[in-house]
Amino acid sequence: MRARRTVLVTGASRGLGRSLAVAFASGGVDVVGTGRDEAALARTAALCDALPGSFAAHRLDVRDADALDALFDGLGPLDVCVANAGIAEQRPLAETDEEDLRRLLEVNVVGAFAVMRRAAAAMVAQGGGRIVPIASDAAYVGIPTMAAYVASKHALLGLARTLALELAGTGVHVTTICPGGIRTEILGEVSAAGDGMDVDDAAAAIAAVATAGPSIGSCELHLQPARSCA
């Protein structure tokens, strides 16, 4: 039995992905983190330097199939895959064109699909693991001025639900996280200074669920800021 677990986190260069990498490494997990910004990945690595786990950075765009193949070919046993990479834009639907929608779908849906498909194949072959798509409460409701983002998260949740059913009985679990507002810079100052959840608190909760034992099966976890649960 391996002494340490390995977790893949896509979009680990900033925001929730960076906090997830730190949370996992704080728990003694070896983290493989991907992102498009090499300098930002280096900052994530620096935050993990003195922690019990480790962080290995891979500059990668989840839309690049060849790069994903090379990454998974070199990974070895993988305990958890967190499909976190995503983008968001805010504008009224009437001002959103087809290219805007296509751009978000390529990252948030096609990219996540590509990561989850490869993780599923690897985990079935090894006899178990956990895939953790990061969706959003936007997967359940409409949000004015965020049509493309909402569409992408609805699609991601549908993919995750289907994958969970297809993997039943294989030892591979799919646990979809649907957080409400988190204070990150995904939408610039508006979201960074909002009244959402602290990003480190959200990451700690997600990391705890992601590394739960195999008796915790497929599920959807809806995280909300404390003010929404009063």
Q: Which of 60, 149, 172, 174 is catalytic?
A: 149
Do residues 131 and 173 lie in contact, with contact meaning Cβ atoms separated by under 8 Å?
yes
Contacts of 84 (CB under 8 A, 6+ apart): 9, 10, 11, 12, 16, 17, 20, 134
> Is 140 noted as a catalytic residue in this protein?
no
Per the CB < 8 A criterion, the answer to whether 4 and 77 are in contact is no
In 118-142, which positions are buried (b, 16+ CB within 10 angstroms) versus exposed (e)? Answer: bbbebbeeeeebbbbbbbbbbbeee
b/e map 51-66, b = 16+ CB within 10 Å: bebbbebbebebeeee
Report, as residue numbers or ranges, the catalytic residues: 149
